[in-house]
Every structure is written in structure tokens, then in C-alpha cells.
């Protein structure tokens, strides 16, 4: 009887329409936040790796969101997104535009969460890229300069290939972060409206602690683990061949 109940939970995974919406949200969330965060991190690292005036303050500004707890970050962005007194709507109002319900509109609530995540994570990943850039031998760039190579050619042929070990490390962490965030959802949207911003780990949290359906939450957890294992194998299978360890 007990085994039958456990199997029923896994069968219900195939019939749960909310789960389909949550999985779609989760994969779309990861598909946007991960590459955008990494691209911004590389761009910021390249910028602060140059000899600029006040570069220390610039690095600090980029890294500051990383050291803030997610609860604090969520409350800061709750002020930004507030319909009545929010900073973003005040800026829109200054230019004569209508206020936007950033967290209450099903069409944009998930994108609002993505923006906050990118803001927080890009600075964190930048630190790893900055450390990797500082280990690249300047002789490689001197040789490229003698060949009159363009900046894009130098980045494509020298910098980016040598950053691949760091990119693999960052990519694994970015995908894990995309599937494990709960705090910001609890503060900002609670997965709403109509599950438009609900993500898989928060859905597990809801089933376990709001609906007290621990058996189904366990089945969802197994599904999450399977997804993460599959993504990890995919990452190492595809990117490991492109990684050049120094």
C-alpha cells in the first residue's frame, strides 16, 4: 500500500499542470539569467582589469550586491518594483509614462525576478573572471599586438579560450543558483500571480510547508535532483572538450 502511494506521487508529476508551468518558468529563468550573468561578469572583469582611475571603487561597486543577503536584496528590489512609490515607476512617471505593475503582471513578473538575479550574481562571477584574467601571461597580448590583432580577435583567440576553465566553474554554479533560489520569491511574489513566477524549488517548498504534502514534495525533490544531474553531465560532456587547463 505504501509503495502504491509513493508511485502515485510520481504518476501525478505527469498530470500536474502547475508543475508544467513551474518547469517552464525554471528553465526559461535559467536560460536567460545564466548566460546574461556570465556575459556581464566577463565584460565587467575585462573593464576593471585595466588601469583606470578609481578602479578599486569600481570593483567594490560591482561586488557589493554579492555580499548582501538575498532577503536584503529582495527587500531592496521590492522598493524598486513597488507600484505606488517604487523607484522605477517614479522614473517612468518623470518621463510621462504609465506605472508598471512589475510583480503583479503575469507577463513580466518572471522577468522582474531575472533582472534582480542578474544584478546580484554578475558581480560575484566577475571576481572569478578577474582572478583568471590576472593569471594570463602578458606576453601573449604583446605577441598579438605585434601582429596588429584587433581587440575582438585577441578576446576570441586568446582571452576567452584561456577563461574556459573558469567559465565551466561559473556555469555549474550559475545553473545551481538558478534552481535553488527561494528567498526572493518568498519576499517578492510567492510564485504569483497565477504561478507565472513560480520556480521548482519554491514549488517544493510550497508543497512541503504550505500544503503539508511532504510525499509529493519528496517526489518533486527527486525530479529536481534528476534535472541537476542531467544538466551537470551535459555541461561537462560538452564544455570539458573545450577547456584548456594551464
Instruction: Give the 3-state DSSP-derived string for 168-192, with helices as H, strands as E and coil as C.
Output: HHHHHHHHHHHHHCCHHHHHHCCCC
**Which residues in 183-192 are b (16+ Cβ under 10 Å) and which e?**
ebbbbbbebe
Q: What percent of the chain has pLDDT over 70?
A: 94
What's the whole-number average pLDDT of the chain?
86
Looking at per-residue confidence, does 94 or 31 come out higher? 31
Whole-Å CA distances, 83 to 103, 183, 238: 9, 21, 44
Phi first, then psi: give them for residue 50, nearest 5 degrees. -95, 170
Mean pLDDT in residue range 57-85: 81
Q: What is the pLDDT of residue 243?
A: 67
Whether 193 has a pLDDT exceeding 80, the answer reads: yes
Instruction: Please tell me the predicted confidence (pLDDT) of residue 241.
Output: 65
Q: State the Cα–Cα distance between residues 232 and 18, nearest whole angstrom.
A: 25
Say how far apart CA 34 and CA 55 lie, in whole Å.
Answer: 26
> What is the per-residue pLDDT for 4?
47
Does residue 7 register a pLDDT over 90? no
pLDDT band at 84 (very low <50, low <70, confident <90, very high): confident
Query: Among the listed ranges 29-38, 47-56, 104-113, 166-175, which one has the minimum average pLDDT value?
Result: 47-56
- In CATH terms, 2-242 corresponds, of 3.10.180.10, 1.10.3720.10, 3.20.10.10, 1.20.140.10, to 1.10.3720.10
Q: What is the pLDDT of residues 207-219, one digit of tens each?
A: 988 888 888 899 9
pLDDT at residue number 244: 57
Residue 70 scores a pLDDT above 80: no
As a whole number, mean pLDDT of residues 132-142 equals 88
Checking if the pLDDT of 117 tops 50, the result is yes
71 cis-preceded (ω within 30 degrees of 0): no
What is the predicted pLDDT for the residue at 10? 82
The three-state secondary structure class of 100 is coil
Task: Judge whether residue 181 has pLDDT over 90.
Answer: no
Closest CA to 180 of 241, 235, 117: 117
Q: Quote the cell numbers at residue 131.
A: 582572478
Closest C-alpha among 55, 73, 53, 74 to residue 64: 73
This prediction's pTM: 0.89
Do 128 and 169 meet the contact criterion of CB atoms below 8 Å apart?
yes
* pLDDT for residue 187 is more than 60: yes
pLDDT for position 37? 95
Nearest Cα neighbor of 5 from 213, 175, 236, 188 is 213
**Domain coordinates in residue numbering, the chain:** 2-242
Amino acid at each position: 500500500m505504501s509503495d502504491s502511494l509513493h508511485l502515485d506521487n510520481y504518476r501525478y508529476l505527469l498530470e500536474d499542470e502547475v508543475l508544467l508551468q513551474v518547469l517552464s518558468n525554471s528553465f526559461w529563468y535559467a536560460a536567460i539569467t545564466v548566460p546574461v550573468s556570465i556575459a556581464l561578469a566577463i565584460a565587467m572583469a575585462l573593464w576593471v582589469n585595466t588601469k583606470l582611475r578609481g578602479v578599486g571603487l569600481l570593483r567594490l561597486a560591482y561586488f557589493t550586491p554579492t555580499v548582501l543577503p538575498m532577503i536584503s536584496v529582495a527587500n531592496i528590489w521590492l522598493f524598486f518594483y513597488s507600484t505606488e512609490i517604487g523607484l522605477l515607476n517614479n522614473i517612468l512617471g518623470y518621463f510621462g509614462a504609465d506605472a508598471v505593475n512589475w510583480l503583479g503582471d503575469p507577463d513580466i513578473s518572471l522577468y522582474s525576478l531575472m533582472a534582480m538575479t542578474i544584478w546580484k550574481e554578475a558581480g560575484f562571477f566577475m571576481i572569478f573572471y578577474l582572478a583568471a584574467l590576472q593569471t594570463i601571461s602578458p606576453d601573449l597580448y604583446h605577441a598579438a599586438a605585434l601582429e596588429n590583432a584587433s581587440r575582438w580577435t585577441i578576446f576570441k583567440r586568446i582571452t576567452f579560450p584561456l577563461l574556459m576553465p573558469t567559465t565551466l566553474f561559473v556555469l555549474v554554479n550559475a545553473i545551481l543558483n538558478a534552481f535553488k533560489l527561494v528567498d526572493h520569491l518568498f519576499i517578492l511574489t510567492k510564485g504569483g500571480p497565477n504561478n507565472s513566477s513560480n520556480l521548482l524549488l519554491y514549488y517544493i517548498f510550497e508543497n512541503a510547508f504550505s500544503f503539508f504534502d511532504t510525499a509529493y514534495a519528496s517526489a518533486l525533490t527527486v525530479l529536481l535532483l534528476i534535472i541537476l544531474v542531467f544538466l551537470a553531465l551535459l555541461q561537462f560532456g560538452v564544455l570539458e572538450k573545450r577547456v584548456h587547463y594551464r
